[in-house]
Chains A and B, each alone.
Chain A
Amino acid sequence: MSDFTPDEMMTIAAARALKNDDVCFVGIGAPSAACNLARLTHAPDITLIYESGTIGTKPDILPLSIGDGELCDTALTTVPVVEMFRYWLQGGRISVGFLGAAQLDKFGNINTTVVGDYHHPKVRLPGGGGAPEIAVSCGEIFITMKQSKRGFVETIDFFTSMGHGKGGDDRAGHGVTTKGPSRLITDLAVWKPDRDSREFTVVSLHPGVTRGAVEDSVGWAVKFADDVTETPPPSAAELGVLRDLHARTRAAHRGDRKSGNPNHG
């Protein structure tokens, strides 16, 4: 095993959460790297879906946006956005939604709308996009983001997308039958919701990470499972594939005008 960064550990641990037969709605950023790493390692037959309408896409490089040409060029098919949200997402065809967040609370509720008051925001964030319905219509939700006190807060400023709501059976009380957030993968740990309270609980610490480091980067009192394990370190194969993917992506996105996709005239 070679050295690895916390970012690499996060992406690799997130990729491991996906199965070969999953149909996964991919959020941009960290989720996109994890989903494609899964496809390039243990889950070659996974169906990756981006909200731009690309179904079964197999990009060679990570897209900058959810609608890069690479996603369409390598997809099984590309459907209109209306169809994506009505038939495929709302229709219940997608097993996993993989999301990131700007702010997250311990019940997996997500804010990507504003920091501060909605009408007089301190920071106007991009907004919900597809997430409010992804969070409810996919079979289950995985979340991946780096831990920080700014991001992991006791109370999020705006409820963009519902996780477990106020905890317990609150989600079901809204008439929602999907599982909601079932895993949170950070740069320090893997978390799963407590069976009863639905509060995210640390189930494994990444190699070398202490409980104190996890607690110091989260804005709520952290709960640990009774049997916290150590996340298996990245294998040489996982690291190699991830680094190759990032290297290809950097080369293609650095603005080199000769590196355009050859499929584009």
Chain B
Amino acid sequence: MANFQSLEAAIADNLSDGDTVAFEGFTHLIPHAAAHEAIRQGRRDLTLIRMTPDIVYDQMIGMGCAKKLIFSFAGNPGVGLLRRLRDAVENGWPNPLEIEEHSHAGMANGYEAGAAGLPSAVFRGYIGAELKNVNANIKSVTCPFSGEELACVPAINPDVGIIHAQKADRQGNVLIEGIVGAQKEAVLASSRSVVTVEEIVEDFAGVHPNACILPHWAVTAIAHVPGGAHPSYAHGYYPRDNAAYLEWDEISADRETFKDWMRKNVLNAGPEIFAERIKGL
């Protein structure tokens, strides 16, 4: 049964130092507010998992929250590279970062296997590609029926899955709409889950019968954080703040500028600031 909590309590109760955690979101509904709460609470030694780490993982890595990153594409979408991630990988600042790199197909299949309770995922992948030479978690199996050699990766089973969604109802069921990415799989693959939502409604009467809904008994904690995906977007609520992604390229270019920005906008702020940030978008 989903527990309605403040964001501060939901993160404090569910995310500890050393955990593996997936803040999922495939360019849409990225749980920025929840990640900022984890930074404020000073989490350390996290293994961060996400298919498409973008600026919020850049922020967590730059603030020293992470010891390892498991990913398949790391970039500032439409802008360029992630400068804090690069500083960690290339220069070990603020601490060395171990990376485990997959393709999207590898990560997506890994999440699905995790949600399905399987130990590993089998798919046709990495053929003629070099990632399998630098990632010991990419192996192969031979199909016992056809003899085809297929790629095999371990299931992804985070300690905590954290996502942002449009709506929860009073019972704690969660509705996700638009580009749904791998969020459902990430929550179902995780031991615990935290969902931030734009809105809490009475019930889901009238939604489409095939809507993407996580039942309340599959979710650990829900926090109401309007604007919690900013500067990414929430389909039906607010568009992507493209200017913020462009600005991040400059903010993240310099360590001191970065730290000042984080102090002002994350460490000395709270979840309520997100509702302000989406005004006028």
Contact = CB atoms under 8 A, between A and B. Distances in A.
Interface of A: 28, 51-54, 63-69, 71-72, 78, 80-82, 84-86, 89-90, 109, 113, 118-119, 121-133, 135-137, 158-162, 165, 171, 174-176, 253, 255, 257, 260-261, 263-265
Interface string B53-85: 000000000000000000111110111011001
Contacts, number: 194
Contacts of A54: 179
Contacts of B79: 64
A264 B126 CA distance: 38
Nearest to A133: B105
Contact of A85 (B71, B109, B240, B242): B109
B78 A64 contact: yes
Nearest to B71: A127
B180 to A, nearest CB: 5
Contacts of B28: 52, 67, 69, 72
B240 A124 contact: no
B89 A261 contact: no
A118 B90 CA distance: 10
Interface stretch (B41-49, B128-136, B257-265, B266-274): B128-136
A64 B242 CA distance: 8
Given A69-B235, A69-B240, 17 more contacts: A52-B179, A63-B78, A72-B235, A78-B179, A81-B51, A113-B131, A123-B81, A123-B86, A126-B73, A127-B71, A128-B129, A132-B131, A133-B125, A136-B124, A158-B130, A162-B128, A260-B281
18 contacts: A64-B78, A72-B235, A82-B109, A124-B81, A126-B74, A128-B72, A128-B129, A130-B73, A132-B129, A133-B126, A135-B129, A137-B124, A160-B131, A161-B129, A261-B239, A264-B236, A264-B238, A265-B236
B37 interface: no
Contacts of B129: 128, 132, 135, 159-162
Nearest to B54: A65
A174 B227 CA distance: 48
B101 interface: yes
A80 B78 contact: no
Interface residues of B, number: 60
B239 A90 contact: no
A61 B11 CA distance: 38
Q: Which of B81, B103, B148, B237 has the most CB of A within 10 A?
A: B103
B125 A68 contact: no
A255 B238 contact: no
Contacts of A72: 28, 178-179, 235
Interface string B214-251: 00000000000000000001011111101101100000
B209 to A, nearest CB: 15
Closest 6 CB pairs of A and B: A67-B27, A162-B128, A64-B78, A255-B243, A65-B77, A129-B73
Contact of B235 (A128, A133, A264): A264
B149 A69 contact: no
A128 B131 contact: yes
A53 B233 contact: no
Contacts of B105: 85-86, 89-90, 130, 132-133
Interface stretch (B2-10, B15-23, B181-189): B181-189
Contact of B103 (A65, A67, A78, A132): A132
B128 A159 contact: yes
A82 B185 contact: yes
Q: Which of B85, B182, B212 has the most CB of A within 10 A?
A: B182
Contacts of A132: 103, 105, 125-127, 129, 131
B108 interface: yes
Given A64-B240, A175-B148, A81 B78 contact: no
A36 to B, nearest CB: 15
Contact of A81 (B108, B125, B127, B281): B108
B185 to A, nearest CB: 6
Interface in B180-215: 180-182, 184-185, 212
Nearest to B130: A159
Nearest to B80: A126
Contacts of B26: 52-53, 67, 81
A1 B86 CA distance: 45
Given A69-B233, A255-B243, A174 B127 contact: yes
Contacts of A126: 73-75, 81-82
Interface string B102-139: 01110011011000000000011111111100100000
B144 interface: no
Contacts of B212: 80
A261 B242 CA distance: 12
A89 B73 CA distance: 18
A255 B103 CA distance: 31
A176 to B, nearest CB: 6
B242 A253 contact: yes
B218 to A, nearest CB: 16
